[in-house]
Chain A
Amino acid sequence: MDQNNSLPPYAQGLASPQGAMTPGIPIFSPMMPYGTGLTPQPIQNTNSLSILEEQQRQQQQQQQQQQQQQQQQQQQQQQQQQQQSTSQQATQGPSGQTPQLFHSQTLTTAPLPGTTPLYPSPMTPMTPITPATPASESSGIVPQLQNIVSTVNLGCKLDLKTIALRARNAEYNPKRFAAVIMRIREPRTTALIFSSGKMVCTGAKSEEQSRLAARKYARVVQKLGFPAKFLDFKIQNMVGSCDVKFPIRLEGLVLTHQQFSSYEPELFPGLIYRMIKPRIVLLIFVSGKVVLTGAKVRAEIYEAFENIYPILKGFRKTT
């Protein structure tokens, strides 16, 4: 399902059709186009410490329902499209809809072309797996990307000594490390160039900058006379950071989320939270600063932060 394309930009990091073992608070807005899958879902009560149990229950239920419902939906979508193409109603009338249990993970109807109802249809009941509370607002904080690591294959063997002697801003110490370390100023990045032709580019602040920087390094190598290509550019890791602006009780967090957290203040002052979905590692500090790493795409960073924010709010230090 590629419903995410129709999402407004602020919600694009949030849609996660697969369900989560971690709490998810999607944005609820009356302007949300109907049928995108982000219409009000059963909202987990974020302040409850039994979140984990609720999530696990939900997940099991959802998985069972998902399989049944996906088949139903496809049939229903076809029916509804035929019915509603004749009636040009702005709001979804009851005639066109087959009431069904609203499932938090999957669509109930396909979006109608051209009709964007102001409010989600009252005919689609929310199935409260947990008591439906008004959706929490989004945190309003967007993690900033700090570092992107990417790799690319230049597709030809390289003579590192030639590169080190002729290129500017290059270091080559084969006794210590078998690669040329080259840097450029714009975008400010560092590249490790290996004799196999493979290259690692680090230090960029955005995906596009990382790609641009990798291309600049490839051009440097090409100008030195090697038949460099630009094969298999892939972003391997993205690091983001943000500040929740309140202190956090790490000790409490590790007690309740012990299967995800590890906190050894004598070793490292930050709590290491290994989120399962998305697979992101977060370093959470007492000051309220959070570092997120391990992402392959930007959306994973945003999603992970939206997942962790309500948990952190629950462990806000009050003194």
Chain B
Amino acid sequence: MAYQLYRNTTLGNSLQESLDELIQSQQITPQLALQVLLQFDKAINAALAQRVRNRVNFRGSLNTYRFCDNVWTFVLNDVEFREVTELIKVDKVKIVACDGKSLKYFSSFFFFLTCFISTIYPMASVLLNSYTF
């Protein structure tokens, strides 16, 4: 139902690792772990849609784009993320975007961003807010 887009985020990956540890130590069943992840999908989608309000602008040059199965994938170079308070510059950004409007459960476009920051800074993935269209 909900997009499983957010499982490969810092939050989602931490959850998956924790669940794997619990499965290893036989404290939960794999079926339960799967249910947890499905609940995580629902929760994260709802949270981003309802509880996030701030806005970030970004600008960069487009390296590649792809549109298949209603999913856009962009790779941008030399991107500046601009919030009112601060500015972040990044060499390479991969954006995976799923359609928000086509599913009746959702009313917004969801973005999932992975930033590949230059070697000066440690690698980090940044989860940004959803924009309502």
Contact = CB atoms under 8 A, between A and B. Distances in A.
Interface string A123-167: 000000000000000000000000000000000000001001101
Nearest to A173: B67
B66 A168 contact: yes
Contacts of A168: 64-66
Interface string B42-71: 000000000000000000000011111010
A169 B68 contact: no
A298 to B, nearest CB: 33
Mostly, the B contact residues are strand
A20 interface: no
A161 B66 CA distance: 11
Contact of B65 (A161, A165, A169, A173): A169
A169 B70 contact: no
Contacts of B68: 161, 164-165, 170-172
A161 B68 CA distance: 7
B66 A170 contact: yes
B64 to A, nearest CB: 4
A165 B71 CA distance: 10
Nearest to A180: B68
Contact of B64 (A169, A172, A173): A169
A161 B67 CA distance: 10
Interface in B104-131: none
Contacts of A169: 64-66
A164 B72 CA distance: 11
Contacts of A167: 66
A170 B66 CA distance: 5
Contacts of B70: 173
Interface in A157-200: 161, 164-165, 167-173
The CB with the most chain A CB atoms within 10 A, among B64, B66, B70, is that of B66
A172 B72 CA distance: 10
A209 to B, nearest CB: 22
A169 B66 CA distance: 5
Contacts of A164: 66-68
Nearest to A162: B68
Nearest to B63: A168
Contacts of A161: 68
Contacts of B66: 164-165, 167-171
Contacts of A165: 66, 68
A173 B102 CA distance: 14
A167 B66 CA distance: 8
A86 B64 CA distance: 70
- Among B64, B65, B67, B68, the one with the most A-chain Cβ atoms within 10 Å of its Cβ is B68
A168 B66 CA distance: 6
A167 B65 CA distance: 10
Nearest to A163: B68
Contacts of B64: 168-169
A168 to B, nearest CB: 4
B68 to A, nearest CB: 4
Contacts of A172: 67-68
Interface string B86-107: 0000000000000000000000
Interface in A294-315: none
A67 B68 CA distance: 61
A169 B65 CA distance: 5
B74 to A, nearest CB: 10
24 contacts: A161-B68, A164-B66, A164-B67, A164-B68, A165-B66, A165-B68, A167-B66, A168-B64, A168-B65, A168-B66, A169-B64, A169-B65, A169-B66, A170-B66, A170-B67, A170-B68, A171-B65, A171-B66, A171-B67, A171-B68, A172-B67, A172-B68, A173-B67, A173-B70
By Cβ-Cβ distance, the 10 closest A-B pairs, closest first, are A171-B67, A164-B68, A168-B64, A172-B68, A165-B68, A169-B64, A169-B65, A170-B66, A173-B67, A172-B67
